[in-house]
């Protein structure tokens, strides 16, 4: 067993440790829920941790690994959330098996976000310059506002579409699926904390395995020095679009998990504020630091909930806490401390001690 551990390459070992920790926390949470030790508020937050962590990890791929600024990550989440919720709600009576329906919903949410990712990537990332931030910012707002005025209903004659309120003349048996600003009500609650954790692990694996592969090196080479990357024959456009599309796709998946866990899905939730919030997770967790993104997403989702007692001062204090965390987190002393107390070293030491004791025996 130790032999196998030592044989694994470094990134595989790190993967195992990280996933181990995620599963440990997951089990701990489930035990607490079962034992009735978790507050109602906390229980509701569990799935939020998952989709915010997925969003942070996926955005880190664009911002930290590729080195391009994206200000519309919530837009991709929005696309994934609405496309999949639309599907699930329309199909609720057709596909009765939750597992199959939700699996299809994930695929639909991921693909629709991917389509927008590719379109934006192809248009923007081919040209030099920092246009991505502006275009993604616009994209996020446009998507939100377009969905806000969409009315789609379904009756025995089929789908009906309108951009105006009350223009849909549905039959008796008809039902609104997307109702403008009110969004989608009554998406089947197919996702839960467990599913969230599974997709968080999948997201983590996709991003870290990509980063530690040939393509990941190409992506980081572009970030570090575009001209040098070209000089060794790395196809800049291809890898930029690849990274950005994977990032968008994963945000779409987060959207699916989100939309299948709430009663009312409103486009208004996916604004500029949310995109910035995800960006804050990434910056605070560390550019290019995948585990940091997850930790930051959890802490910063938890924090505002526990600051509620501050009432009007909540966001002010939140901002101050952010700044303090930022300074603390990236101070040399703290970085050194983290290096000295890394989990990987701890595991290695544990293994060494284990080997020693075995030899002595």
Partner 1 sequence: MEMLSVKNIGISFGGLHAVDSFSITINKGELYGLIGPNGAGKTTVFNLLTGVYKPDMGQIFLDGKNITGLSTIEINKAGIARTFQNIRLFKNMSVLDNVKCGLHNNNKYSSLAGILRLPSYFKKEKDMTKQAYAILKVFDLDKDAKILSANLPYGKQRKLEIARALATDPKLLLLDEPAAGMNPSETEELMDTIRLVREKYDVTILLIEHDMKLVAGICEKIFVLNFGIELANGLPQDVLNNPEVIKAYLGE
In this complex, which beta carbon is closest to partner 1, that of residue 231 or of residue 357?
A: 231
- Show contacts with partner 1 in window 73-112 (CB under 8 A): none
Rounded Cα distance, 193 and 261, in Å: 9
In this complex, which beta carbon is closest to partner 1, that of residue 206 or of residue 280?
A: 206
Binding mask 200-219 for partner 1 (x = CB under 8 A): -----xx--xx-xxxxxxx-
**227 is an interface residue for partner 1 by CB under 8 A:** yes
**359 is an interface residue for partner 1 by CB under 8 A:** no
Task: Please give the span between the terminal C-alpha atoms of the chain, in angstroms, as a whole number.
Answer: 17
Place of tokens 């949310």: 274
User: Which tokens go with 130?
Assistant: 């920092």
In this complex, which beta carbon is closest to partner 1, that of residue 12 or of residue 182?
A: 12
**224 is an interface residue for partner 1 by CB under 8 A:** yes
3-state secondary structure of 351: helix
Rounded Cα distance, 239 and 228, in Å: 15
At residue 300's C-alpha, the angle toward residues 295 and 305, to 5°, is 135
Q: Which of 92, 185, 221, 307 binds partner 1 (CB under 8 A)?
A: 221
Binding mask 240-279 for partner 1 (x = CB under 8 A): --x-------------------------------------
**236 is an interface residue for partner 1 by CB under 8 A:** yes
Considering CB under 8 A, how many residues would be counted as binding partner 1?
30
Q: Residue 217 contacts by C-beta under 8 Å, 6 or more apart in sequence?
A: none
Q: Which of 3, 36, 166, 233 binds partner 1 (CB under 8 A)?
A: 233
User: Count of CB atoms within 10 A of residue 261's CB?
Assistant: 21
Q: Residue 27 contacts by C-beta under 8 Å, 6 or more apart in sequence?
A: none
Q: Which of 96, 129, 158, 231 binds partner 1 (CB under 8 A)?
A: 231
- Show contacts with partner 1 in window 275-304 (CB under 8 A): 288
8 A C-beta contact, residue 278 and residue 60 = no
Q: Residue 315 contacts by C-beta under 8 Å, 6 or more apart in sequence?
A: 304
Selected range binding partner 1 among 18-26, 55-63, 77-85, 235-243, rule: CB under 8 A: 235-243
Rounded Cα distance, 92 and 287, in Å: 41
**158 is an interface residue for partner 1 by CB under 8 A:** no
Q: How far is the CB of 68 from partner 1 (least distance, A)?
A: 15
Q: Which of 73, 223, 240, 291 binds partner 1 (CB under 8 A)?
A: 223
**348 is an interface residue for partner 1 by CB under 8 A:** no
The DSSP symbol for 181 reads: G
In this complex, which beta carbon is closest to partner 1, that of residue 145 or of residue 289?
A: 289
8 A C-beta contact, residue 140 and residue 275 = yes
User: Which tokens go with 318?
Assistant: 């939140």
In this complex, which beta carbon is closest to partner 1, that of residue 8 or of residue 171?
A: 8
In this complex, which beta carbon is closest to partner 1, that of residue 60 or of residue 187?
A: 60
Q: How far is the CB of 319 from partner 1 (least distance, A)?
A: 29
What percent helix, strand, coil does the chain show, rounded to 5? Answer: 75, 5, 20
Q: Contact residues for partner 1 (CB under 8 A)?
A: 9, 12, 205-206, 209-210, 212-218, 220-221, 223-225, 227-236, 242, 288
């Amino acid at each position: 067993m130790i032999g196998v551990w030592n044989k694994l390459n470094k990134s595989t070992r790190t993967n195992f440790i990280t996933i181990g920790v995620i599963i440990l926390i997951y089990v701990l949470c489930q035990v607490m829920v079962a034992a009735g030790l978790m507050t109602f508020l906390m229980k509701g937050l569990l799935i939020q941790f998952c989709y915010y962590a997925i969003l942070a990890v996926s955005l880190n791929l664009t911002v930290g690994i590729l080195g391009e600024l994206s200000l519309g990550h919530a837009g991709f989440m929005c696309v994934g959330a609405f496309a999949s919720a639309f599907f699930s709600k329309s199909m609720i009576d057709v596909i009765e098996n939750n597992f199959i329906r939700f699996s299809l919903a994930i695929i639909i949410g991921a693909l629709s976000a991917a389509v927008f990712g590719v379109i934006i990537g192809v248009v923007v990332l081919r040209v030099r310059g920092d246009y991505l931030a502006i275009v993604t910012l616009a994209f996020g707002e446009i998507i939100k506002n377009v969905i806000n005025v969409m009315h789609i209903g379904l009756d025995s004659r089929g789908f009906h579409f309108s951009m105006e309120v009350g223009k849909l003349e549905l039959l008796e048996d008809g039902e609104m699926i997307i109702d403008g600003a009110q969004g989608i009500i009554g998406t089947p609650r197919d996702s839960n904390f467990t599913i969230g954790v599974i997709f968080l692990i999948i997201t983590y694996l996709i991003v870290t395995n990509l980063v530690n592969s040939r393509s990941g090196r190409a992506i980081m080479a572009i970030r570090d020095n575009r001209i040098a990357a070209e000089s060794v024959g790395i196809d800049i456009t291809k890898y930029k679009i690849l990274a950005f599309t994977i990032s968008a796709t994963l945000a779409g998946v987060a959207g699916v998990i989100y939309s299948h866990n709430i009663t009312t899905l409103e486009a208004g939730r996916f604004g500029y504020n949310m995109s910035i919030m995800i960006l804050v997770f990434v910056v605070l967790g560390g550019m290019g630091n995948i585990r940091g993104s997850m930790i930051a997403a959890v802490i910063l989702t938890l924090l505002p909930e526990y600051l509620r007692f501050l009432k009007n001062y909540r966001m002010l204090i939140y901002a101050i806490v952010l700044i303090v965390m930022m300074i603390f987190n990236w101070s040399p002393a703290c970085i050194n401390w983290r290096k000295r107390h890394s989990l990987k070293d701890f595991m290695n030491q544990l293994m060494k001690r284990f080997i020693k004791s075995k030899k002595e025996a």
